[in-house]
Amino acid sequence: MRSVLRIIFLLLLSGIGLAAGQNVFIEGRILDRETRDPLPAYVAIVDGPGISADAAGRFRLSVPRPPSGTIKLSVWLIGYQKKDIEAEPGKFLTVELDLEPAPAREISVAADSIVSDEKTQKTVTLTKMEVYTLPGTAADPVTAGHVLPGVNSPPDASSLLIRGGAPDEVAYVFDGIELRHPFLSESLHESYFSVFDNQVVESFSIATTGFHPKFGDALSGVMDISAKDHPAKAEGGLGLSIFGLNSYAAFPVKGIGSFVGSYNRGFSDILTRLNSRGGGRDFRTENAFGKFQFPLGRSNEIRIYGMADNYRYSQNADPAFDVSTINTFAAVSWTSTLSHRLVFKALLASLRYDLIYDQPETLQVRSRDGETQARLDFIGDFDRHFLEFGADFSRRRIDTSLTEIEALNYRTTGTRLGFYAQDKFRLSDRVYFNLGGRLSALDLLNRGWALDPRFSAAFLFTRRDVFRFSAGVYHQFGDYSVLAANSGLRPKTAVHYALSYDRITEGFDLRAAVYDKEYRNLFLRDAGGAMTNGGAGYARGAEFYIKKKSAAFEALLVYNFVLSERRENDVSVLAPSPYAITHSATGIVSWKFKDGSLGLRYSIASGRPFTPLLGRDWDPVGESFIPVWGPPYSRRCPAYQRMDLNGTWNIQFLGKAVIIYFGITNVLDAKNVLRFEYDADYASRKDQESIFGRSLFLGLYVPFF
């Protein structure tokens, strides 16, 4: 018995020894192939145990000694492609992993500027919060867009001048609704704000080229805005400033859906008095927005929208006049998730814009622009392919009544129809394409269908460095009253080519871009006064944008260069474009403190082109002076410059986080001349300066909930 026990004991000992002898270690390091960053990936024996590498990517795995000398391992980290390798114990192993290719939906292929907080778009961003915090943005998403590359607008205009294009070459789309009148005032020089309330905006993008074929009737760019949806908890607040009040509320309604809404009221009295700017000018604004969302089951949703905007402007003298506009829309949309890969959206909207202009005893204008829009959109997400197609319809009626000596009434009606399709697809791990097109027609033209083929490509040189190329044809039908009077016209055309490079890393965005935009079929008046498609032009330029962001500060620099000439309207020779701001640059620095922030912005830009007055001739027949103009747009206004300062201070008041904010516009009180006006006899010229002299703005915001 004792000998048996001894044998068992010896066998056990030898077994332990054998087991110990069979265990060997595999050591190594796991790296990202591209960036050489260490990866804390998981390494496992095939059909066996495994271990995670440490933060330095190093691992030491105990494995049974392989009879063949090598052992099969699998290495994996989420977001990376799994790798199977054969390892030899005793040899230090270096494993390189490749990222999983991103699904097509996550890559921005077109060379555009996008505003979003998504991490995977690999394009320059301007977050919705930056619309509030950056100086000189007036908490307005359109005004904030001026700091994006490709937007050449002088900071005084709400309108976006994109890559040398005219302000009306940009389409403004709000949750799929095309807004023809997105500004409180439609003048390039005196519009202060857009009708979009940043409080109800979820995200927005400004496309400077390569924009989606679902957007038509725009030659230069698209601003696409999405309203907030699905508030998860009640939020909102009340703001009071020297310009009036703003309020916002969003909340879920248990068992029904949700609501998002805002109401704002503004008046210039205190603002102008505080800043000693009377001038007999006064304006008031009022804006209300509401959006209700009702889920129907788990896969259908109905949304009902409404917006009403009222703007009144009065001038006491030189000349005295009143302008008021009422801008409204109502819409209903239905979204249906047909499967987890296919979504269908339908939208029906009714829009109305009323303008009343009264210049006592001289001129009265009444205008109503009414439109019905409908659209159907299908979205298919198939990982490698992101497919979108649909159709849109618009019927628009413009009634204008002009009373000078006698009343003149005009009515124009146009019906537009469009179809589009686009496939954004991944050709390889690094190459993504957008291939699409749009077919559209307007009955006012009687010229059949206009086809817009569009193509974009993105090459992910590394995951941080993206090259993009876009080429496409864009059509715009133009002013309906001009088309109604000239039914033989074709739509205006622009052909875009753009090449851009983006470097996007955590807290750092860089873009460099060059582009060429060739205009054809622009409207040109012939010698007989009829409008033709004989106009043409070009805009060529380059952009540079850099943004650095950390927890404590943010710095941004954008520079745009554009050369543009046009032969258009009454200018029959190729002349500098009135929209070409050759050089424009903006620098912003903002600091964040524990209880507040401070921001400084400086913008400088070339002056706008204008046509010089060379002299005047006496017309004995009309008994008045006739101006003698120089070459069209051959001179420029003085260079534009403006410095803005803003700050916030967060305090606790009655248990609420109250924000007190201030802004000083045009700190240096630079006199920026935007255009010139002449006396009736053309004997003297008067500078028309920007209304943005040095002004102080104060306000506070109290959250409701």
Give min distance, CB of 76 to another protein, in A.
6
Indicate which single residue of 128, 163, 214, 291 sits in contact with another protein (rule: CB under 8 A).
Answer: 128
* Full 3-state SS string of 230-291: CCCCCEEEEEEECCEEEEEEEEEECCCEEEEEEEEEEECHHHHHHCCCCCCEEEEEEEEEEE
Give min distance, CB of 60 to another protein, in A.
13
Indicate which single residue of 36, 233, 318, 684 sits in contact with another protein (rule: CB under 8 A).
Answer: 233
Question: Distance (Å, rounded) from C-alpha 642 to C-alpha 233?
Answer: 40
Give min distance, CB of 195 to another protein, in A.
23
User: Binding marks (x or -) toward another protein, 134..163, rule CB under 8 A?
Assistant: ------------------------------
Give min distance, CB of 248 to another protein, in A.
13
Give min distance, CB of 295 to another protein, in A.
9
Question: What is the sign, positive or negative, of the torsion defined by CA atoms of 678, 680, 683, 686?
Answer: negative
Beta-carbon neighbour count of residue 46 at 10 Å? Answer: 12
Q: Which is nearer to another protein, 127 or 275 (CB)?
A: 127
State yes or no: residue 27 binds another protein (CB under 8 A). Answer: no
Q: Which is nearer to another protein, 55 or 683 (CB)?
A: 55
Give min distance, CB of 435 to another protein, in A.
26
> Please, are residues 254 and 528 in contact by the beta-carbon 8 Å criterion?
no
Give min distance, CB of 424 to another protein, in A.
19
Q: Where are the alpha helices (DSSP H) in 385-426?
A: none
State yes or no: residue 280 binds another protein (CB under 8 A). Answer: no
Question: Distance (Å, rounded) from C-alpha 32 to C-alpha 41?
Answer: 10
State yes or no: residue 657 binds another protein (CB under 8 A). Answer: yes
Q: Which is nearer to another protein, 12 or 129 (CB)?
A: 129
Specify the pairing of strand 596-605 against strand 609-610.
unpaired
Give min distance, CB of 36 to another protein, in A.
17
Give min distance, CB of 44 to another protein, in A.
6
Element (H, E) at 11: helix 2-22
User: What is the 8-class DSSP label of residue 489?
Assistant: P
Give min distance, CB of 345 to another protein, in A.
19
Degrees to nearest 5, angle at CA 330 with 329 and 331: 125
Distance from the first to the final alpha carbon of the chain:
84
Q: Which is nearer to another protein, 336 or 486 (CB)?
A: 336
Specify the pairing of strand 221-227 against strand 170-174.
parallel
Tokens at residue 467, please?
């090259």
Q: Judged by CB under 8 A, how many residues of this single chain contact another protein?
A: 34
State yes or no: residue 117 binds another protein (CB under 8 A). Answer: yes
* Cβ partners under 8 Å of residue 340, min gap 6: none
State yes or no: residue 129 binds another protein (CB under 8 A). Answer: yes
Nearest Cα residue to 174 out of 329, 33, 69, 59: 329
> Please, are residues 252 and 234 in contact by the beta-carbon 8 Å criterion?
yes
The window from 188-196, 231-239, 532-540, 574-582 that contacts another protein (CB under 8 A) reads 231-239
Q: Which is nearer to another protein, 477 or 701 (CB)?
A: 701
Range list of β-strands (E), 407-464: 407-426, 431-442, 450-460
Indicate which single residue of 72, 277, 635, 656 sits in contact with another protein (rule: CB under 8 A).
Answer: 656
Beta-carbon neighbour count of residue 403 at 10 Å? Answer: 14
Q: Which is nearer to another protein, 427 or 657 (CB)?
A: 657
Q: Which is nearer to another protein, 592 or 694 (CB)?
A: 592
State yes or no: residue 79 binds another protein (CB under 8 A). Answer: yes
Give min distance, CB of 703 to another protein, in A.
8
Helix, strand, coil percentages in the chain from 3-state DSSP, rounded to 5: 10, 60, 35
Give min distance, CB of 432 to another protein, in A.
20
State yes or no: residue 655 binds another protein (CB under 8 A). Answer: yes
Restricting to residues 319-348, name those near another protein by CB under 8 A: 340
User: What is the 8-class DSSP label of residue 341?
Assistant: T
User: Binding marks (x or -) toward another protein, 588..627, rule CB under 8 A?
Assistant: ----x-----------------------------------
State yes or no: residue 47 binds another protein (CB under 8 A). Answer: yes
Give min distance, CB of 102 to another protein, in A.
12
State yes or no: residue 297 binds another protein (CB under 8 A). Answer: no
Tokens at residue 400, please?
């204008």
Q: Which is nearer to another protein, 230 or 671 (CB)?
A: 230
Tokens at residue 4, please?
């048996």
Restricting to residues 472-501, name those near another protein by CB under 8 A: none
Give min distance, CB of 549 to another protein, in A.
8
Q: Where are the alpha helices (DSSP H) in 292-427?
A: none
> Please, are residues 108 and 121 in contact by the beta-carbon 8 Å criterion?
yes
State yes or no: residue 705 binds another protein (CB under 8 A). Answer: yes
Helix, strand or coil, per DSSP, at residue 482 = helix
Give min distance, CB of 251 to another protein, in A.
11
Q: Which is nearer to another protein, 47 or 406 (CB)?
A: 47
Question: Distance (Å, rounded) from C-alpha 34 to C-alpha 2?
Answer: 65
Q: Which is nearer to another protein, 255 or 528 (CB)?
A: 255
Residue 557 Cα distances to 207, 281, 544, angstroms: 19, 35, 8
Nearest Cα residue to 692 out of 284, 271, 310, 185: 271
φ/ψ bin of 446: left (φ > 0), alpha (ψ from -120 to 50), beta (otherwise): left
Q: Which is nearer to another protein, 100 or 679 (CB)?
A: 100
State yes or no: residue 267 binds another protein (CB under 8 A). Answer: no
* Cβ partners under 8 Å of residue 5, min gap 6: none
Q: Which is nearer to another protein, 507 or 631 (CB)?
A: 507
Q: Which is nearer to another protein, 38 or 534 (CB)?
A: 38
Residues paired with 236 in a beta bridge: 249
Indicate which single residue of 70, 85, 105, 252 sits in contact with another protein (rule: CB under 8 A).
Answer: 252
Question: Distance (Å, rounded) from C-alpha 685 to C-alpha 543?
Answer: 35
Indicate which single residue of 52, 62, 446, 487 sits in contact with another protein (rule: CB under 8 A).
Answer: 52
Tokens at residue 688, please?
């028309």
The window from 39-47, 404-412, 440-448, 454-462 that contacts another protein (CB under 8 A) reads 39-47
State yes or no: residue 652 binds another protein (CB under 8 A). Answer: yes
Degrees to nearest 5, angle at CA 449 with 391 and 352: 55
Contacts with another protein by CB under 8 A lie at 40, 42, 44, 47, 49-52, 55, 74, 76-79, 82, 117, 127-129, 230-233, 235, 252, 340, 550-551, 592, 652, 655-657, 705
